[in-house]
């Protein structure tokens, strides 16, 4: 009985060569503008670059954390034989773009977010390609990736001959420029690899020179932590440097591609679903501040800018209004600062008001500094006030009821600095004297919200639910006094020390009288428990708030001990 017929090696090679040719010919009908074939060997040299990139802190944090998976296709796919890279070109020009004008300023989305979300666009094309191959090779195995896959899209595209890896970290196709989306498909089919394209940047450094934040730290080296494309997608607050340089960008940045000579004159319009709606990609800024989640999804949900939600975009809207110095935005920024629950937006609005300037901006800042609770926002408000001419240091105060009477609490930007026994009205003169001694140009501002956490912890203490405090303090006193006050915080709840014990604790056993004086000057009673210090004989001795209050506090702690 004869052996089953097996195709020769030459016949097999011809089969895969023909299929590769068929795929290339079919690519345009599948919506693919450029296609290339690469080996599935490990990307050995890439790993060293990735290790160095991570060591320098240049990663964005959106990458696959496992470096081996980023460079070894075999960790993602069983016995890979090849990788197919695809590119889909997108437009670079707006037809009749709406104008940005005073009182009607506009933001801009990067070109990568102008049309249908490229993740969806590429997945659809890769699915068509998979179906095309499966029809011809039923036993084929394939796994497609778009952007969020472990492999580096650019490394695959470079190896597959789509284009060269440029100094701006884009892949530049000789035909398409860099206005293209990239995707890849790992297969178990032994396609012959294509030849990589030779590097074409030469001596040109326009992208590096034009980068607004200096994120391009060298040819092909990007510090993502400084890249505007990354920064516009973050959800936190941004530094003044970055907010200024973001300009009116709402999502992404195209600067390094706009200045790139190979992109000159290239604008791709062959894919209707990737064409932009001018009003979506260059929208009026102010109306975006009041978008609901539903409205945001309806307007931006179909493009790539929506993946992080509306907060980053609305923060960037505020940045844009500040950079435009749009005075018509002041009432809207006032609403943000009074009503928006997201501290990042309130923080950014304070900066924007400082950029816009004028009396109206200062009025808003003076209003919201009396209401704000978040310390970072309060700091931003104060920086803005200083920029607009304020020369005072804000100290926030509020009153609270307690078992030892009304307390007036005062905090600086750094923390709780003073507790006064009595109402603010009754003790105002003494409070003014104390603050004027320790602060330059103090401004006492009523703000209950800024002291909510402190009041909450004190209520827990008086209610017997708290034995220690977790409150930032801004202790104002001499070095010796601060040393004594630090020692007081080490007296356990429910216990008492003598002045001599405190003196010994600070390493100055003969300074008993001085310790007593420092104890009496403690500006934050209760929190720093000077009430736990008694005479050597065990007698109740001096307490700034009165011995009756000291007895109540010690009795409270004894009951809970």
* The two three-digit tokens of residue 318, written as one number: 């505020």
CB 319 within 8 A of CB 352: yes
The upper half-sphere exposure of residue 433, i.e. CA atoms within 13 Å in the direction of its Cβ, equals: 5
| Residue 196, φ and ψ in degrees, nearest 5 | -60, 150
Please enumerate in sequence order all residues whose Cβ is within 8 A of that of 60, keeping only pairs 6 or more positions apart, or say none.
Answer: 224, 225, 227, 230
Q: Whose structure tokens read 């006064």?
A: 420
The C-alpha atoms of residue 120 and residue 274 are separated, in whole angstroms, by 11
Strand partners of residue 143: 186
Strands in 40-97 per DSSP E: 82-89
* The two three-digit tokens of residue 363, written as one number: 């009025």
Helix (H), strand (E), coil (C) string for 33-46: CEEEEEECCCCHHH
Is 530 catalytic? The answer is: yes
| Residue from 169, 201, 417, 530 carrying the catalytic annotation | 530
The C-alpha atoms of residue 413 and residue 411 are separated, in whole angstroms, by 7
* Among the listed residues 141, 162, 157, the one whose alpha carbon sits nearest the alpha carbon of residue 76: 141
Helix (H), strand (E), coil (C) string for 127-156: HHHHHHHHHHCCCCCEEEECCCCCCCHHHH
The C-alpha atoms of residue 447 and residue 328 are separated, in whole angstroms, by 28
Please enumerate in sequence order all residues whose Cβ is within 8 A of that of 331, keeping only pairs 6 or more positions apart, or say none.
Answer: none
H/E stretch holding 126 reads helix 118-136
Q: How many helices (H) and strands (E) does the chain have?
A: 22, 16
The C-alpha atoms of residue 349 and residue 541 are separated, in whole angstroms, by 51
Which residues are designated catalytic? 530
């Amino acid at each position: 009985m004869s052996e089953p017929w097996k195709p020769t090696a030459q016949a097999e090679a011809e089969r895969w060569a023909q299929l590769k040719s068929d795929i290339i010919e079919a690519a345009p009908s599948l919506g693919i503008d450029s296609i290339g074939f690469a080996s599935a060997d490990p990307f050995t040299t890439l790993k060293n670059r990735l290790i160095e990139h991570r060591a320098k802190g240049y990663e964005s944090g959106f990458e696959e954390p496992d470096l081996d998976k980023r460079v070894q296709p075999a960790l993602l796919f069983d016995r890979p034989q090849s990788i197919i890279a695809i590119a889909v070109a997108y437009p670079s020009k707006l037809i009749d773009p709406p104008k940005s004008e005073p009182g009607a300023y506009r933001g801009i989305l990067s070109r990568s977010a102008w049309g249908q979300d490229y993740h969806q666009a590429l997945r659809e094309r890769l699915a068509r390609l998979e179906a095309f191959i499966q029809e011809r090779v039923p036993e084929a195995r394939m796994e497609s990736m778009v952007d969020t896959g472990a492999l580096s899209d650019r490394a695959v595209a470079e190896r597959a001959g789509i284009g060269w890896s440029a100094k701006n970290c884009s892949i530049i196709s000789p035909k398409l420029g860099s206005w293209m989306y990239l995707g890849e498909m790992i297969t178990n089919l032994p396609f012959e690899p294509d030849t990589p394209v030779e590097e074409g940047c030469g001596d040109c450094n326009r992208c590096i020179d034009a980068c607004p934040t200096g994120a391009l730290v060298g040819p092909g080296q990007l510090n993502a932590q400084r890249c505007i494309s990354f920064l516009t997608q973050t959800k936190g607050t941004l530094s003044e440097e970055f907010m200024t340089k973001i300009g009116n960008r709402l999502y992404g940045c195209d600067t390094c591609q706009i200045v790139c000579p190979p992109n000159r004159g290239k604008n791709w319009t062959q894919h209707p679903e990737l064409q932009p709606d001018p009003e979506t990609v260059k929208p009026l800024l102010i109306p975006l501040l009041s978008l609901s989640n539903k409205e945001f999804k309806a307007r931006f949900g179909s493009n790539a800018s929506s993946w992080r939600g509306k907060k980053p975009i609305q923060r960037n809207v505020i940045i844009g209004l500040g950079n435009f110095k749009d005075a018509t935005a002041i009432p809207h920024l006032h609403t943000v600062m009074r009503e928006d629950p997201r501290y990042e937006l309130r923080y950014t609005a304070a900066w924007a008001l400082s950029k816009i300037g004028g009396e109206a901006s200062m009025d808003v800042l003076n209003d919201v500094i009396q209401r704000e609770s978040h310390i970072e926002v309060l700091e931003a408000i104060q920086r803005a006030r200083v920029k607009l001419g304020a020369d005072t240091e804000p100290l926030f105060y509020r009153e609270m009821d307690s078992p030892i009477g009304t307390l007036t609490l005062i905090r600086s930007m750094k923390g709780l600095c003073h507790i006064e026994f009595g109402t603010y009205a009754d003790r105002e003169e003494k409070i003014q004297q104390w603050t004027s001694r320790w602060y330059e140009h103090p401004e006492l501002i009523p703000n209950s919200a800024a002291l909510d956490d402190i009041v909450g912890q004190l209520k827990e203490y008086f209610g017997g639910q708290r034995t220690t405090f977790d409150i930032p303090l801004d202790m104002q006193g001499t070095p010796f006094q601060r040393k004594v006050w630090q020692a007081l915080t080490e007296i356990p709840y429910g216990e008492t020390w003598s002045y001599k014990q405190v003196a010994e604790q600070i390493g100055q056993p003969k300074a008993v009288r001085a310790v007593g004086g420092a104890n009496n000057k403690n500006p934050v009673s209760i929190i720093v428990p000077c009430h736990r210090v008694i005479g050597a004989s065990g007698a109740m001795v001096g307490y700034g708030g009165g011995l009756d209050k000291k007895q109540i506090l010690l009795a409270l702690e004894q009951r809970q001990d």
